[in-house]
Amino acid sequence: MTTDRMPEIPADKMTPEQQKAAKEFSEGRGYPVRGPFAPMLRSPEVMLRAKAMGDYVRFKSSIPAKLNELAICITARQWTQNYEWLAHARIGKEAGLDPAILQAIAEGRRPESMDADETIIYDFSMELHHNKSVSDATYAKTVQRFGEKGVIDLIAANGYYTFNAMMMNVARTALPKGAAAELEPFPR
């Protein structure tokens, strides 16, 4: 077990800037600072700017919710980020993502029964994470199906949740109480 390097900051220990940012965060999201935002609160402006990007990526993306959550779960798996996985696998299931697809991703396997849209999202996201770019064929399929705005929104989902995963992995953000890690690290 590892120790959370940057746990939630008690309200009485926050600087005035942190208090202001935490208040703005909770008013906007409807819950207190948690997850990747707990370590980010050490730099209140970073946290609020990340929140703004997250608000778009999560709630306003042109990529349908089920597919957006698929991209987020792929990102969580690539970074073995259990906090992100626990939150977004649940949200993905609620949005209609097949649990068998999530299980395959958790195990590091290509899911066997994806529909055409899921296949596009999977291929794009996996190529982006592994190759640091996407092939012409994958790009063309993605643009044809989701348009250039969709390509940007898909890159944003992968990038934003990579950023969050980096924050939590460095901070060693603890899972919510009672939660168990579902992802095992990939072999190194």
Q: For residue 178, tell me if it sits in a domain.
A: no
Confidence of residue 2 (pLDDT cuts 50, 70, 90): confident
User: Which domain covers residue 133, as residue numbers?
Assistant: 65-171
> Which pLDDT score is estimated for 186?
86
> Which pLDDT score is estimated for 102?
98
Number of domains in the chain: 1
Q: For residue 18, tell me if it sits in a domain.
A: no
Q: For residue 4, tell me if it sits in a domain.
A: no
Q: For residue 105, tell me if it sits in a domain.
A: yes
What CATH number is attached to the domain comprising 97? Answer: 1.20.1290.10
Rounded to the nearest integer, the mean pLDDT of the chain is 97
Q: What is the pLDDT of residues 59-118, one digit of tens each?
A: 999 999 999 999 999 999 999 999 999 999 999 999 999 999 999 999 999 999 999 999
pTM: 0.96
Q: For residue 16, tell me if it sits in a domain.
A: no
Confidence of residue 188 (pLDDT cuts 50, 70, 90): low
Q: For residue 70, tell me if it sits in a domain.
A: yes
Q: For residue 25, tell me if it sits in a domain.
A: no
Q: Is residue 44 within 8 Å of 51, Cβ to Cβ?
A: no
